[in-house]
Amino acid sequence: MNRFLVLVLGLLAVSAARKRYEPNWESLDKRPLPDWYDKQKIGIFIHWGVFSVPSFSSEWFWNCWNSGRKSCVDFIKNNYRPDWTYADFARDFTAEFYNATEWAKLFEDAGAHYIVFVSKHHEGFCNWPSKYSFNWNSMAVGPKRDLVGELADAVRKHTKMHFGVYHSMFEWYNPLYEQDKANGFRTRDFVTTKTLPELYELVNKYKPDVIWSDGEWQASSEYWKSPEFIAWLYNDSPVRDTVVVNDRWGNETRCKHGGFWDCSDAYDPGKLQGHKWENNFPLDKSAWGYRRTMNLDSIHSIESVLTLLARTISCGGNFLVNVGPTKSGKIIPIFEERLRQFGSWMKVNGEAVYETFPWKHQNDSLNKDAWYVARKMDQQTNVYVFILKWPANGKLILGSLSYTSRMSISMLGYKGSKTFSWTRNPTGGVAVNMPALSPTEIPCKWAWVLKLSNIEDDKFGGIKRISNE
């Protein structure tokens, strides 16, 4: 056969092997989630926009003010001139200290393997020079920079993380959207001239591996033409082999359709889920965008973050931690500290997070501070127990573990010679005697992970790595 024919036949074989997805949920939901997403587990979410300028109330500030909520109305009345408009905030979105390389390195140091950057929130301001936004974008006003592009480049140049974007389908006060809405969503002028062109532009220009959609809830996925967009994404887009999407694509899709499921914000079901999901949560419990009125007690402690991590990973979720930078582009020290604490913990215990999968038990039946995951390593499967409180009397009860004298127990990060012993627990399971480690011998602070090998119950439940079929 001549070379040309071989090439043509080869291409035919490849395209025949590649399954094409139809623009409907039944077909799209059959696509296996690309492997990397479940394996990499940890992401950083970044909410940045014009809302970072008032930095009051939350990233919903414009809506809060416009709908007449007293706190927001008073804030404007007391601090701005009488004819102030939301658009006036944009010029103060200065971003003068925005250093995308610094951010990218911080996020990777925090143990993240992907990021999700807000490209446009409900206010409609594009953090990139979109062809479909003439004066309400970061190149036209405010930073005068391509915020998305700078971060995409920095992530690719300086880290191994996957780059992803958040994108809001609706815009609170876009006249075209309001018109479609007034027409009962039987017209689609907003979708065809704004939402979709923007999404195609984002994908073609920045090649994100995550499209984290939001702002979908007022209209159906049919109005948004989401199935058409996702079919293109999976079949023909430049990221068709690597891209993952969430489940916010229309008022009927959450927790039902799409790639991984976010369900509600900060979704934290506490039990094993049948479909790959993600817990997206803000370090500031009250807002995703930066708030100048934040107090320390609204910020998750590192112990709280690690508790959420254990519960999320055990139940098959990914962990997406949100920070809101200031208008100048700084990630304030309290967020930086939390991310670096988390990263230092992950350096010791990452073996029990990345590439793990749920075990047959998630939480322990007797010990509310113990959560389990499993991982295949060195030809065997190990079970890892997250210990969220060091047992006061040195005896760790693990009620969900069957007793066997053959297993081995170690603590991640501990290289010393002190060993673990264990006995049958009278009320069921195993009682582990923790070695008496001095403060300098303890491998990490806040929470610890025990690695169990050769255990009896080496069966796993739940989610396979590719989980949405």
Ligand X SMILES: *[C@@H]1O[C@H](CO)[C@@H](O)[C@H](O)[C@H]1NC(C)=O
Closest contact distance (angstroms) between CB of 404 and ligand X is 20
Closest contact distance (angstroms) between CB of 421 and ligand X is 25
Residues in contact with ligand X, shown as a per-residue x/- string from 342 to 381 under the rule CB under 6 A: ---------------------x-x--x-------------
Tokens representing 301 are 């402690």
Query: What are the DSSP calls for 313-332, one per residue?
Result: HHTTEEEEEEE---TTS---
Does 313 participate in binding ligand X (rule CB under 6 A)? no
Closest contact distance (angstroms) between CB of 415 and ligand X is 32
**Amino acid making up residue 449:** V
**Amino acid making up residue 389:** K
Q: Which stretch binds ligand X (CB under 6 A): 95-103, 135-143, 204-212, 418-426?
A: 95-103
- CB closer to ligand X, 58 vs 307: 307
- CB closer to ligand X, 251 vs 298: 251
Closest contact distance (angstroms) between CB of 461 and ligand X is 13
Q: What is the dihedral of CA 101, 107, 108, 111, to 10 degrees?
A: 170
**Of 133, 265, 147, 250, residue with least CA distance to 198:** 133
Site for ligand X, residues 34 to 63, rule: CB under 6 A: none
Does 99 participate in binding ligand X (rule CB under 6 A)? yes
Burial of 345-365, coded b for 16+ CB within 10 Å and e otherwise, reads bbebbbbbbebbbbbebbbbe
Closest contact distance (angstroms) between CB of 361 and ligand X is 8
Residue given tokens 């959420």 in the structure block: 308
**Of 187, 193, 176, 117, residue with least CA distance to 152:** 117
Q: Which stretch binds ligand X (CB under 6 A): 79-87, 206-214, 219-227, 281-289?
A: 219-227
* Secondary structure element (H or E) that encloses residue 180, with its range: helix 175-182
Does 251 participate in binding ligand X (rule CB under 6 A)? yes
**CA–CA distance, 183 with 194 (Å, rounded to integer):** 17
Q: Is 313 left (phi over 0), alpha (psi -120 to 50) or beta?
A: alpha
Q: Is 343 left (phi over 0), alpha (psi -120 to 50) or beta?
A: alpha
- CB closer to ligand X, 242 vs 365: 365
32: Cβ contacts below 8 Å, ≥ 6 apart: 466, 468, 469
Query: What are the DSSP calls for 117-145, one per residue?
Result: EEEE-TT--BSS--TT-SSSBTTTSTT-S
Which of 10, 270, 274, 461 touches ligand X by CB under 6 A?
270
Q: Which stretch binds ligand X (CB under 6 A): 47-55, 218-226, 387-395, 449-457?
A: 218-226
Does 433 participate in binding ligand X (rule CB under 6 A)? no
Closest contact distance (angstroms) between CB of 189 and ligand X is 14
**Amino acid making up residue 71:** S
Exposed / middle / buried, residue 178 (Cβ in 10 Å: 0-12, 13-18, 19+): middle
Does 195 participate in binding ligand X (rule CB under 6 A)? no
Closest contact distance (angstroms) between CB of 444 and ligand X is 24
Closest contact distance (angstroms) between CB of 387 and ligand X is 15
- CB closer to ligand X, 94 vs 99: 99
Closest contact distance (angstroms) between CB of 217 and ligand X is 8
- CB closer to ligand X, 61 vs 223: 223
CA 82 to chain centroid, in Å, comes to: 40
- Total residues interacting with ligand X, rule: CB under 6 A: 12
Instruction: Report the SS3 class of residue 450.
Output: strand
Does 102 participate in binding ligand X (rule CB under 6 A)? yes
Closest contact distance (angstroms) between CB of 400 and ligand X is 7
Residue given tokens 């999320």 in the structure block: 312
Q: Which stretch binds ligand X (CB under 6 A): 94-102, 273-281, 285-293, 404-412?
A: 94-102
Site for ligand X, residues 63 to 82, rule: CB under 6 A: none
- CB closer to ligand X, 67 vs 183: 183
Q: Are 270 and 311 in contact (CB under 8 A)?
A: yes
Which of 24, 27, 94, 220 touches ligand X by CB under 6 A?
220
Which of 185, 260, 277, 372 touches ligand X by CB under 6 A?
185
Closest contact distance (angstroms) between CB of 118 and ligand X is 21
Binding site for ligand X (CB under 6 A): 99, 101-102, 185, 219-220, 223, 251, 270, 363, 365, 368
